[in-house]
Amino acid sequence: MGSIKSSILVYGSPANPVISYLLQYLSSRSSKPVVFIQQETFLTQTKLTFSINQNQIEGSFILPDGSGLNFSEISGLCMENQFVSAYGFTELSEKDKQYVQTEGWAALLAAAASLSHQCSVLNPLPKIDLSMGRGGAVLLLQKYGFDSPHFLITSDPEKAKEFYQTWKGQVIYKHVKDPDAMFKKMTNQDLQRIEKISYCPVHFEEYSPGKVIRLVTVGKETFGFEESLSQTGTVNLSLYSLEENWKFQSLQLARDINIPLLEIRLRITPDGKCQGLGVYPFVSLPVLTFTNEHGDSLIGRSILNLLEQGNPIS
């Protein structure tokens, strides 16, 4: 690691299939060494030190093998929004483990934010509330020019009935928070037990047919994929040509919230509207594993180029 900015650093858990695939991809194709810090080793085996003195950032990771990796030697950092594991802290109480995880993750994010001033960092400190759920994501996408599906979040059974009648029964519903929870089609049987929502709000939404598109930003690049489901429920993707205004809107959103690696879900309705459905920091496995005719991951290649380049993204 003698040269400046000679290594790419990946942080995450090998149990995460996205991190596992990305690590394998980068390791097999990068012209620079790829260093992997398992979140399970952070704090127990991997140590972190960094400081800012007279506007100069200095820092290092001491790796499990005892070697050091200085911030100045890092070309790019890629970390999925995970957490610091409490693995190995067997002597601590559950309360103390939670404290260690919270403080450790805050320190790691602060270090990544510092690194972002001197090298390429993907998702150093997400400025998006990951718990905002579909409703918040739809409103965020609306702010950046995408159309919005009609939706209702309510704990009032009468309001839910009214929404169901307004859309003539063409309504789907799901949990408010979980962005990946599957929607269910609302039926008359659901109306018979609608009083239960008085205990907890539910997200109701008009059902609109149409294509589901995954729009991905990597730095200043954009990619479009059309989604389809097989009979077994497997997600299949095909390339989709994005309109220029969608590219501009998505890049502006990614820049404003400082998340250069971003996946946006859209629906193209039969009447041509482009409805915003969801915003996801990082990328999903189907997108990452989508390959071109040469068997290469389009998104993996774009991520690699960004990390090898080494220049601050924002």
pLDDT in tens, 115-173: 988 899 987 655 566 556 888 889 999 999 999 999 999 999 999 999 999 999 999 99
What per-residue confidence (pLDDT) applies to 129? 62
pLDDT mean over 194-203: 92
Which pLDDT score is estimated for 263? 94
How high is the pLDDT of residue 11? 95
Q: How far apart are CA 159 and CA 244, in angstroms?
A: 38
DSSP-derived secondary structure letter, 241: P
Residue 214's region, left for phi above 0, alpha for psi from -120 to 50, else beta, is beta
pLDDT over 70 (residue 92): yes
> Mean pLDDT, the chain, as a whole number?
91
Specify the CATH number for 151-206; select among 3.30.1490, 3.30.70, 1.20.120, 2.40.128: 3.30.1490
Torsion, Cα of 289, 291, 296, 302 (10° steps): -70
pLDDT value for 134: 85
Q: Break the chain down into helix, strand, coil percent, rounded to 5.
A: 30, 30, 40
What is the identity of the amino acid at 28?
S
303 HSE (CA, 13 A, CB side): 34
pLDDT exceeds 70 at position 179? no
Kindly tell me if the per-residue pLDDT of 211 is higher than 90. Answer: yes
pLDDT tens digit sequence for 1-57: 344 679 999 999 999 999 999 999 999 999 999 999 999 999 999 999 999 888 888
Q: Return d(Cα 107, Cα 59) in angstroms, integer.
A: 12
pLDDT at 85 over 90: no
Per-residue tokens: 85: 């594991």
Phi-psi label, residue 178: left if phi above 0, alpha if psi -120 to 50, beta otherwise: beta
Query: Residue 133: what pLDDT?
Result: 81
- Mean pLDDT, residues 248-263 taken together: 93
Q: Is pLDDT of 292 > 60?
A: yes
Q: Where in the chain are the domains?
A: 7-122, 151-206
Beta-strand pair 74-79/171-174: unpaired
Percent of the chain residues past pLDDT 90, beyond the cut: 71
Residue 4 has what pLDDT? 60
The per-residue pLDDT for 1 is 39
pLDDT at 72 over 90: yes
